[in-house]
Structure 1
Amino acid sequence: MILPIVAYGHPVLRKVSEDITPDYPHLQQFIANMWETMYGSSGVGLAAPQVNKAIRLFVVDSEQIINNLEEDEKAEYPGDQGVKQVFINAHIVDAEGKEWPYNEGCLSIPKIREDVYRPETIRLRYVDENFQPHERTFHGITARVIFHEYDHLDGKLFIDYLKPLKRRMLKGKLEDISKGKISTDYKMIFHK
């Protein structure tokens, strides 16, 4: 089932999400709905707060980005094959490397894209959909997508990384999104 995506301005996007246990109600169905929602809205990642659940869960499919790069572009991200996986109760162990810009967007902030600087690598401790523990380092575009989705779990948005002048320039567009004055190809929830 495709879930509606929470729009900028909704308080759930600013909450710090909580860890869950294996007995979280209907977890496998919720994960399936997350994948369907992400693909249905042409996303490469989706965090639970974006579908109105303040829990530490996100899904990422960076394979679709890597697979669509030209060969010379792939050389810019050595060792990044992309991932398609579920991250539950993720916590950053380490983030390192030179910060580099990438033009990011967000399903909760439609039609706004801006360059954001993030480190090259992220090391995460998390459990998968079967609650098997993992600790793994991710690089390149995959790290970028994970950083972006992880931020949602801590109540942060990509626009928080923008310089104050850029934020002021986007103020009108952001207010329009929060008031529902936007059209998208997917269903959204607006805070009243």
Structure 2
Amino acid sequence: MSTILPVAQRGERILTATAAEVARTELNSPWLKELAAAMYATMLERNGVGIAAPQVYVSKRVIIVASRPNSRYPDAPEMDALVMVNPEILEKSELTVLGEEGCLSVSDERGQVARAQMIKLRYLTLDAEVVETSFSGFPARIVQHEVDHLDGVLFIERI
């Protein structure tokens, strides 16, 4: 059973900092895999569809994207959880879509945020494999929301 971690809340400094890249030497390490497992368990415990390392007090560029229906997002599409290390958005569609967002670090607010409908990104897996892929719709929204966390931006700043 993985550890459930405390989640930083709006106003805490770690949520406004730019997270550090994960070093090559940290890839495939036990601590990185344990961090990812604990982030995933924490996200599930709180009915999230994504989580970023800074939200659990680790200022590193690691996110998990895991769209699935739950009480907070009943219409979310089902997808396998993806751990993304050092994610980088390479392209965004010009078409943007308004959609409701919430955040585990802003527990009392939801709001309409305009996000690119489609994104192309590159990231590393926990095992240092390079992945380039595209997302559209709700999963693209989650990626953009979580990458914002790595850059010290909360969704409420985009409303």
Question: Normalized against structure 1, the TM-score is what?
Answer: 0.74
- Stretches of structure 2 lacking an aligned partner (at least 5 in a row): none
Of 20-29 and 108-117, deviating more is 20-29
1:16 aligns with 2:21: no
Tell me the alpha carbon deviations over residues 36-81 of structure 1, each in whole angstroms, 9 at most, x when there is no partner.
Answer: 100011111000000011100011111446x953xxxx9xxxxx76
Tell me the alpha carbon deviations over residues 158-179 of structure 1, each in whole angstroms, 9 at most, x when there is no partner.
Answer: 01112xxxxxxxxxxxxxxxxx
- Stretches of structure 1 lacking an aligned partner (at least 5 in a row): 75-79, 163-192
% identical equivalent positions = 34
> Matches of 1:140 and 1:63 in 2, distance apart?
13
Partner of 1:112: 109
Aligned partners of 1:63 and 1:84 also within 8 Å: no
Tell me the alpha carbon deviations over residues 92-131 of structure 1, each in whole angstroms, 9 at most, x when there is no partner.
Answer: 1011141111110000000200000111011111101111
Kindly report structure 1 stretches of 4+ aligned residues shifted beyond 3 Å.
80-83
Aligned partners of 2:69 and 2:78 also within 8 Å: no
Name the SS of the counterpart of 1:6 in structure 2. Answer: coil
Partner of 2:4: 2
> Matches of 1:27 and 1:149 in 2, distance apart?
18
Partner of 2:60: 55
> Matches of 1:135 and 1:141 in 2, distance apart?
18
Aligned pairs (5 A) from 1:1-192: 1-24=3-26, 26-64=31-69, 69=75, 82-162=79-159
Aligned residues: 152
Aligned partners of 1:60 and 1:146 also within 8 Å: yes
Letter in 2 for 1:16: T
Question: Normalized against structure 2, the TM-score is what?
Answer: 0.89
Aligned partners of 1:16 and 1:154 also within 8 Å: yes
Letter in 1 for 2:42: T
- Which of the two has higher C-alpha Rg? 1
